[in-house]
């Protein structure tokens, strides 16, 4: 997908930069610009509302991420929040307050988190400031999480008389375990970045100004890897979170086998034996996904 022409318009709820530009300290693009091949940057853009996830924003986010996923030129997606105060402070409470059980059951926007989690392309959340409620759940729906030392996580829904509704009881429990999830969900307390790291939520904890640069560098490293193997690895690791161990082991074994005979497997092993660097193809081919793997 080409870089969106209108991405700087204030009305854009979600900005897309593809390929993303490498960032320096503070998150500004380097000068002269350096394009990160295969990397897309998606920015939640409601900074005045701390990037609260309105239905319109969630739908747009899902559309954007799915379009990037369908683009062979995109091999890793970084999702971040505009500004420095928040990744996203949750679902939009003003909008949520007017909902009923029935309206929520038929609200397609509520599939936004799962649609992001389901794309085959690896996703990385770059979190500065608040990642609360649905914002924390969006970060958890990503495959990796790079957090600033000023990041704050939490599932404060209990303080609104509700519970997390987009993975905060499920993905969080699988990530940090039952006892810790109960603490966070039942107290609604905020978790500073250093504690989030101790809990095992984070891929990297970095100084605040380096967050976007670190997430984009991580994405660029993933985008430079052999893509059939990347997608197989993503599907296999996700399977560990989605079903019983026996099923996950079968998914892993199927994907492992399916990689044999792919050009990158042949090239990778030949290069090793010839003691040289491998030359990867960049686009993923069609390694069949096992049933149930996303």
Instruction: List residues with catalytic annotation.
Output: 91, 134, 137, 157
Q: Would you count residue 82 as binding ligand CAA (CB under 6 A)?
A: no
Alpha helices in 146-293 (DSSP H): 171-176, 178-187, 193-199, 211-223, 227-242, 245-258, 263-273
Minimum distance, C-beta of residue 211 to ligand CAA, in the bound complex (Å) = 18
Look up residue 129 and give its two tokens. Answer: 């400031």
Strands 39-44 and 76-81 come out as: parallel
**Interface of this chain with ligand CAA, residues 128 to 167, rule: CB under 6 A:** 130, 132-134, 137, 156-157, 160, 164-166
According to CB under 6 A, which one of 19, 27, 38, 168 is a site residue for ligand CAA? 168
CA dihedral for 111, 112, 118, 124, sign (positive or negative): negative
* Nearest Cα to Cα of residue 148 among 63, 86, 208, 235: 208
Q: Would you count residue 112 as binding ligand CAA (CB under 6 A)?
A: no
Q: Would you count residue 52 as binding ligand CAA (CB under 6 A)?
A: yes
Count the site residues for ligand CAA by CB under 6 A: 22
Q: Would you count residue 92 as binding ligand CAA (CB under 6 A)?
A: yes
Residue appearing with tokens 């649609």: 115
Which region among 92-100, 115-123, 200-208, 210-218 touches ligand CAA (by CB under 6 A)? 92-100
Minimum distance, C-beta of residue 128 to ligand CAA, in the bound complex (Å) = 13
Length of the chain: 294
Minimum distance, C-beta of residue 46 to ligand CAA, in the bound complex (Å) = 8
| Strand, coil or helix: 253 | helix
Q: Would you count residue 67 as binding ligand CAA (CB under 6 A)?
A: no
Q: Would you count residue 93 as binding ligand CAA (CB under 6 A)?
A: yes
How far, rounded to the nearest angstrom, does the alpha carbon of residue 27 sit from its chain's CA centroid?
18
Q: Would you count residue 81 as binding ligand CAA (CB under 6 A)?
A: no
CA distances from 116 to 134, 140, 255 (A): 13, 10, 22
What are the residues binding ligand CAA (CB under 6 A)? 49-50, 52, 89-94, 96, 130, 132-134, 137, 156-157, 160, 164-166, 168
């Amino acid at each position: 997908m080409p870089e969106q022409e209108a991405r700087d318009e204030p009305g854009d709820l979600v900005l897309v930069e593809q390929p993303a530009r490498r960032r320096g300290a503070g998150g500004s693009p380097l000068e002269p610009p350096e394009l990160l091949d295969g990397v897309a940057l998606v920015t939640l853009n409601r900074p005045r509302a701390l990037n609260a996830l309105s239905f319109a924003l969630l739908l747009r986010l899902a559309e954007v991420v799915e379009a990037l996923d369908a683009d062979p030129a995109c091999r890793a997606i970084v999702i971040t929040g505009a500004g420095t105060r928040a990744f996203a402070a949750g679902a939009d409470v003003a909008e949520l307050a007017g909902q009923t059980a029935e309206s929520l059951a038929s609200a397609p926007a509520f599939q936004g988190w799962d649609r992001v989690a389901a794309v085959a392309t690896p996703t990385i959340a770059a979190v500065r400031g608040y990642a609360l409620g649905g914002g924390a759940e969006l970060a958890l729906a990503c495959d990796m999480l790079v957090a600033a030392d000023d990041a704050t996580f939490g599932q404060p829904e209990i303080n609104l008389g509700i519970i997390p509704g987009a993975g905060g009881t499920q993905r969080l429990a699988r990530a940090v375990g039952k006892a810790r999830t109960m603490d966070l969900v039942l107290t609604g307390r905020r978790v500073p970045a250093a504690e989030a790291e101790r809990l095992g939520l984070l891929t990297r904890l970095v100084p605040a100004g380096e967050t976007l640069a670190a997430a984009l560098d991580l994405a660029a490293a993933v985008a430079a890897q052999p893509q059939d193997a990347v997608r197989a690895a993503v599907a296999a690791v996700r399977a560990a979170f989605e079903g019983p161990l026996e099923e996950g082991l079968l998914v892993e074994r199927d994907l492992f086998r399916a990689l044999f005979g792919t050009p990158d497997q042949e090239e990778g092993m030949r290069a090793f034996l010839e003691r040289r660097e491998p030359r990867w193809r960049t686009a993923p081919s069609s390694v069949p996904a096992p049933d149930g793997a996303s």
